[in-house]
Structure 1
Amino acid sequence: MRKETLIKIIAELSRILLGVTFIFSGTVKAIDPEGTIIKMGDYFTAFGWGHAIWSDALLSFAMIAFEFMLGVCVLLGVHRRLSTLGILLFMAIMTPVTLYLALYNPVPDCGCFGDALIITNWQTFDKNIILSAAAIIAFIYCRRLTPCYSNRAHSIVALFAFAFGVAFCYWNYSHLPMVDFRPYKVGANIPKLMEIPADAPQDEYVFIYQKDGVQKEFKLEEAPAGDSTWVYVDARLVKQGFIPTVSSFDLYNEAGDNVAGEILSDEKPVLLLISPHLEQASEAHVAEIEAISDYARTHDLPIYTVTASNETQCREWAKHTGLDIPFLTADDVLLKTIIRSNPGLVLMKQGTILDKWHHNDIPTPNELQALIEANRPNLRSAGRIWLYTVLAFVLPLLLFWGCDRALKPKKLGQVKNEQI
């Protein structure tokens, strides 16, 4: 009896660990689906497969929603054998992949928890070993996992979890992520994020010298730089120093000058229309953008289109859209990190981001005017949005549970008593 109880406890703990982890992982990816598309593109590029397939947002949505659904099903005991088998197969694929990432480091982090929680590739591998062990236990003892619904409700719950995951991805993709996990969130001051404290630890290197065919490593203060009998071979980083949150923020004008310093120190509000690649930019809201451009010109506010596209593409886009906004160029990775929209609008003043907008949510000139007059970051509380999101997911599950309980067949004894 004790053995059975112990197995039951271990199986249930494995179920909880897997369910919570997969739900959390799917949720943070769904909050920033564009980031997931970018990360999967990095994976495909690192393995030499290209990443055109991941430009299809719906395919990415389906992958995120499937992960979320697996977590929900395991946690609630829905399709116990199939859901635990799905997670076991998922871990069987991802664990070797993350071992490869840890050994060869083709991408800096796995992206398994999006930008919400960044862990090293070795930490990811260690995490996957633990989850794999839990998946094996949950699969072997899946019949011991307590189901929250009867069999007739399992498919409904699974389909609802998948549909909710897709819908949540689409909402965040069509607007800015409901939670911004990146450095350039509203309220952030870019110059402060680039500061390096005077007492910050520096990179530590060892220097490799050779003498009489024998190589030896030296610390900086011990290096035989003045001894001609030693020949310098190489240097190796042994300890990473302090890395600022924003390591670089470079914006170049048509003359090739870096004007980022001027923009970050400008006492006037500055508007940046950001498009990593103009040839892929949405033109659905050009009229709204033009109204903002006219407002900026009328009120003598600096406004720029910032892109990684080349000069020819910039001219073609300006001619096609009719927007007369000066161009600046920047690295496309920087622009995708600043805002998950192509194009997207950023309002900043003296390096502080006052607000950001997806192209589907471009403000009216009056709304922009009110924000400028307020002269403070427009910090929106995510509490209410989170509440509505959780309720939109939990309440239907509770409704399914209530209906399932109400339709549960009565025990034979109860039926006989009623008939009597």
Structure 2
Amino acid sequence: MKTTRTISGHSLPLNVLFVMLNLVGLALTTMGFHDHFEAQKMLFVSLGIVLMLFSAVALIFFKGKLMIATVSRVIVGSLFIVSGLIKANDPVGFSYKLEEYFEDGALAYRIKEWFGAPGFSLEYFIQHALLLSVIICIAEIVLGVLVIIGGKMRLVSWLLVIMMLFFTFLTWHTSTCDAKTKFVDRDTYSLEIAKEAQLADMKIEEAKTNKDVKILSRNSEEVVVEELKSPQCVTDCGCFGDAMKGSIGRSLTPKESLWKDIVLLYLVIWIFAAQKLIQPNNVRQNWIYVPISLILVSGLSWVFNWYFPILFSVVAILAALWVYRIRNRFIGNHYGSALMVTLLCGVFIWYVLHYDPLRDYRPYAVGNYLPDLARDGKPGKYQSLLVYKNLQTGEKREYDSSSKEFMNSKIWEKTKEWKYLEMINKEIVPTKLPSIDTAQFNPSRSVRFLTADELQLDVVKKQLKNRKVTGLRLLDNITKEKTEIPEIEYNVESYPKDTYTVLDTIEVESPDFIDVSIRDFLFKAPEVIVAISKNLKEFDISHLTELKTLAKAAQKAGVPFVLVVGSSDNEIEAFKKKYDFHVPVFINDGVELKAISRANPALLVLRYGRVKGKYTGNSLPEFNWIQTNLLKK
């Protein structure tokens, strides 16, 4: 007779104790490897590993493997749902992070090194980054729901292990990437493609003077170049998108992200080890496991200051259980449950792709006061330390040269025992960059490309008026030509008195004034409407008529309307001419425009520097509505 394994094992109280000890050991081990607990590292790690090993053996002996697997299911499932939803809330942003990993010098360089394959590349996947982003988000949520309700656990446990090994590899790569190292890269440039042929010519010239660049082969069709390059290190794995930075003020460090994945991988291994013991939840188990999962989801939602995951989790889990319970031949199973959750995810992702993230964690979210976010950075604190090495044991010690400990040690005199190595700057308090980098957010336009559209703005007129400086009008006594120069540039070496005569003092344009910026205007203006296009070549023209109507109404009402783009001056003029869209246009870094909105175009409504409204092309409001509901409040 087949015996049914229960969560109690041989002893419910003992197994509960062993599970708690195992989780405490896991927590202590993780804490021991955190920089904050560096002084207690040996104690925490030693105690943590001992507790984990002891409790793991005890759980196996007392048949408690199912219990810890169940606890792991609830924790992993809850975290997967929230993590997946946060990425699904901004799949375009997550795709940008994947693109970073797919760059040739990023993740691919590991493969190039390990397998001696300098021609290996992941750049093909860049064009599919958004699709992969959506697939990963949905997979996380679906697996999270299934692992909570106990559906298809053999398949799910394998998929969980594969996914966590992949994520752990990514975070390991991120935390150990060293931009100072070099790797061998090999590129093939086709001479039949103009852009590649131009790059090939540049590499051929560079190879003549740069020993890191070598031309391996060259014929009428292609040029093969081998080059020593530095890795492109990704500083943020993007595990929780912008959510952690937008909620608690910072993202996880690469090392913290790695340990987060190691912990999850450890829990997933318990699920994998118990996969044959796990059966689909019965009604009684669902009444226990599902509420506990929702409590964990609620806790994570509180951390991220976003409570939609609670609602989504309730709907997704209940929908998955309902599909399973109808016992239909075709969909009344856990495959049907997975399909139902996938459909729910699809609807959610479709919505955010068309109307921007449901919860905006970026600095330019509605309600944010931009000037404060441009100055909320804090300088870090660093300590200069002298590093000495023990010649016998190899031990290294760090000393603050101004400390009593250093002075009392007289270590500099013990040359037979200790050797001075170097001086290092140790980070005591990390530098916090401002939420909005004013070097990145600075909509501006070169003076020589200003048109009548830009010149109609008072802020532009004022800056052009203030660019005047004191100058001199000079007469060339030989050619009789008159020259006007800034007074600061005048000197007798360049303009000898026997050759040049100073006629009078005048006002001239400052040679240092080359750009007009509207950043401060956007931070202070009583009201302004800003259209955003990260790239005019990708501008969704179907929304242009609405924008034109809105711009004309705004100009008629005296409300400034500007377009900020991540394109060149030539592209701007071509766009204006082609679509007869004559509004003031300014240029900003395209990466920052991606942070403002994922849509192209998008719209910001600002009032004294505060974001009063933010819209995508699919949800553009009429000007009268903006004026009544946003600008008069």
TM-score category of the 2 structures, normalised to the smaller one:
0.7 to 0.9
Paired position in structure 2 for 1:319: 577
CA positional deviation for 1:55: 5.1
Q: Are 1:42 and 2:100 an aligned pair?
A: yes
- The structure with the larger Rg is 2
| Alpha-carbon distance in 1 for matches of 2:369, 2:401 | 35
Q: Deviations for 1:328-384, whole angstroms, at most 9, x for unmatched residues?
A: 111112111112211100010221111000110010122122124432xxxxxxxxx
Pair 1:315–1:93, CA change in 2 (3 A): same
Q: Deviations for 1:283-302, whole angstroms, at most 9, x for unmatched residues?
A: 11111111111111101221
Q: Are 1:187 and 2:367 an aligned pair?
A: yes
Aligned residues: 356
Counterpart of 1:99 in structure 2: which amino acid? Answer: W
* SS of equivalent to 1:142: coil
| Alpha-carbon distance in 2 for matches of 1:371, 1:52 | 44
Pair 1:372–1:73, CA change in 2 (3 A): closer
**Range that drifts further, 185-194 or 43-52:** 43-52
Paired position in structure 2 for 1:87: 160
| Alpha-carbon distance in 1 for matches of 2:566, 2:171 | 31
Pair 1:69–1:288, CA change in 2 (3 A): same
Contact 2:102–2:126, Cα closer than 8 Å, also in 1: no
Q: How does 1:110-259 map to 2 (within 5 A)?
A: 110-117=237-244, 118-148=251-281, 149=324, 152-196=332-376, 201-204=379-382, 206=384, 236=425, 238-239=427-428, 240-248=430-438, 249-255=441-447, 256-259=515-518
Counterpart of 1:311 in structure 2: which amino acid? Answer: D
Identity of aligned residues (%): 27
2:603 to 337, 345, 352: 345
CA positional deviation for 1:165: 1.7
CA positional deviation for 1:234: 9.4
* SS of equivalent to 2:558: coil
Counterpart of 2:561 in structure 1: which amino acid? Answer: I
Q: Deviations for 1:303-341, whole angstroms, at most 9, x for unmatched residues?
A: 111111111211222223321111111111211111221
CA positional deviation for 1:66: 1.6
**Range that drifts further, 320-329 or 129-138:** 320-329
Paired position in structure 2 for 1:214: none
| Alpha-carbon distance in 2 for matches of 1:113, 1:11 | 25
Q: Are 1:293 and 2:351 an aligned pair?
A: no
| Alpha-carbon distance in 2 for matches of 1:21, 1:275 | 35
| Alpha-carbon distance in 2 for matches of 1:55, 1:310 | 26
Contact 1:273–1:343, Cα closer than 8 Å, also in 2: yes
Contact 1:292–1:364, Cα closer than 8 Å, also in 2: yes
Pair 1:219–1:192, CA change in 2 (3 A): farther
Gaps of 5+ in 1: 209-216, 223-232, 376-420
* SS of equivalent to 1:325: coil
| Alpha-carbon distance in 2 for matches of 1:259, 1:207 | 44
Q: Are 1:21 and 2:79 an aligned pair?
A: yes
| Alpha-carbon distance in 1 for matches of 2:583, 2:425 | 46
Pair 1:128–1:372, CA change in 2 (3 A): closer
Report 1 or 2 for greater relative contact order, CA contacts < 8 Å, sequence distance ≥ 6.
Answer: 1
Q: Deviations for 1:6-36, whole angstroms, at most 9, x for unmatched residues?
A: 2222010111121111111111111111111
* SS of equivalent to 1:143: coil
Pair 1:47–1:319, CA change in 2 (3 A): farther
| Alpha-carbon distance in 1 for matches of 2:401, 2:379 | 15
Note the aligned Cα RMSD (angstroms).
2.8
Counterpart of 1:100 in structure 2: which amino acid? Answer: H
| Alpha-carbon distance in 2 for matches of 1:361, 1:93 | 37
**Range that drifts further, 80-89 or 70-79:** 70-79
Gaps of 5+ in 2: 1-9, 12-60, 109-121, 179-232, 245-250, 282-323, 387-397, 404-421, 448-514
Counterpart of 1:262 in structure 2: which amino acid? Answer: F
Contact 1:206–1:238, Cα closer than 8 Å, also in 2: no
CA positional deviation for 1:139: 1.2
TM-score under structure 1 length normalisation: 0.78
Contact 2:445–2:586, Cα closer than 8 Å, also in 1: yes
Contact 1:276–1:308, Cα closer than 8 Å, also in 2: yes
* SS of equivalent to 2:360: coil
* SS of equivalent to 1:355: strand
| Alpha-carbon distance in 1 for matches of 2:587, 2:561 | 13
Contact 1:204–1:241, Cα closer than 8 Å, also in 2: no
Q: Deviations for 1:214-253, whole angstroms, at most 9, x for unmatched residues?
A: xxx998999xxxxxxxxxx998563433432223231112
Counterpart of 1:33 in structure 2: which amino acid? Answer: P
| Alpha-carbon distance in 2 for matches of 1:301, 1:74 | 54
| Alpha-carbon distance in 1 for matches of 2:423, 2:570 | 42
Paired position in structure 2 for 1:74: 147
Pair 1:24–1:138, CA change in 2 (3 A): same
CA positional deviation for 1:56: 5.7
| Alpha-carbon distance in 2 for matches of 1:156, 1:330 | 48
| Alpha-carbon distance in 1 for matches of 2:550, 2:133 | 33
Paired position in structure 2 for 1:65: 138
Contact 1:42–1:51, Cα closer than 8 Å, also in 2: no
CA positional deviation for 1:84: 1.1
Paired position in structure 1 for 2:521: 262
Pair 1:335–1:64, CA change in 2 (3 A): same
Contact 1:37–1:54, Cα closer than 8 Å, also in 2: no
Pair 1:345–1:250, CA change in 2 (3 A): same
Q: Deviations for 1:169-227, whole angstroms, at most 9, x for unmatched residues?
A: 11101102111111211111111112258xx554436499xxxxxxxx998999xxxxx
| Alpha-carbon distance in 2 for matches of 1:374, 1:235 | 56
Contact 2:528–2:559, Cα closer than 8 Å, also in 1: yes
| Alpha-carbon distance in 2 for matches of 1:276, 1:339 | 9
CA positional deviation for 1:162: 1.8
